[in-house]
């Protein structure tokens, strides 16, 4: 199958939205990166639609102020499927949470659904 989308671009744009603390800028990133019916689910949270996804990201910022998500290694993908691993940590500190996300992507590169799994959780 031809890969029309760039998995690393998808992952980087996704993590940029997760890292954006400015509400208006984050809203713009979510508009650009997700379909309007997009869904997100992980072991702790679930959201459907851009507004709910935005609220979920804001809640994570409240819980982990000053922390940032970063891509671990390269994203991988084929067809409309992408996977990538990430870490969440304070600047310069050992990451406290890590996970692997699996995404289904529209032909235009926007996220239709993301499923998160946790690889490392706070001890």
Binding site for its own copies (CB under 8 A): 1, 41-43, 46, 76, 78-79, 81, 83, 100, 102, 115, 117
User: Minimum distance from CB of 1 to its own copies (Å)?
Assistant: 7
Q: 103 vs 17, 67, 95, 97, 122, CA distance in Å?
A: 15, 23, 22, 19, 24
User: Minimum distance from CB of 107 to its own copies (Å)?
Assistant: 15
Whose Cβ is closer to its own copies: residue 17's or residue 75's?
75
Whose Cβ is closer to its own copies: residue 6's or residue 42's?
42
Residues 6+ apart with CB under 8 A from 81: 102, 103, 104, 105
């Amino acid at each position: 199958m031809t890969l029309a989308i760039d998995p690393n671009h998808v992952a980087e744009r996704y993590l940029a939205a997760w890292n954006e603390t400015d509400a208006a800028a984050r809203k713009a990133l979510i508009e650009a990166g997700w379909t309007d019916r997009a869904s997100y689910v992980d072991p702790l949270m679930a959201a459907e639609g851009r507004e709910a996804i935005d609220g979920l990201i804001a809640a994570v910022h409240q819980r982990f102020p000053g922390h940032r998500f970063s891509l671990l290694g390269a994203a991988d993908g084929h067809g409309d499927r992408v996977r990538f691993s990430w870490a969440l940590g304070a600047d310069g500190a050992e990451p406290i949470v890590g996970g692997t996300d699996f995404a289904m992507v529209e032909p235009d590169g926007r996220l239709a659904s993301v499923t998160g799994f946790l690889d490392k959780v706070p001890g």
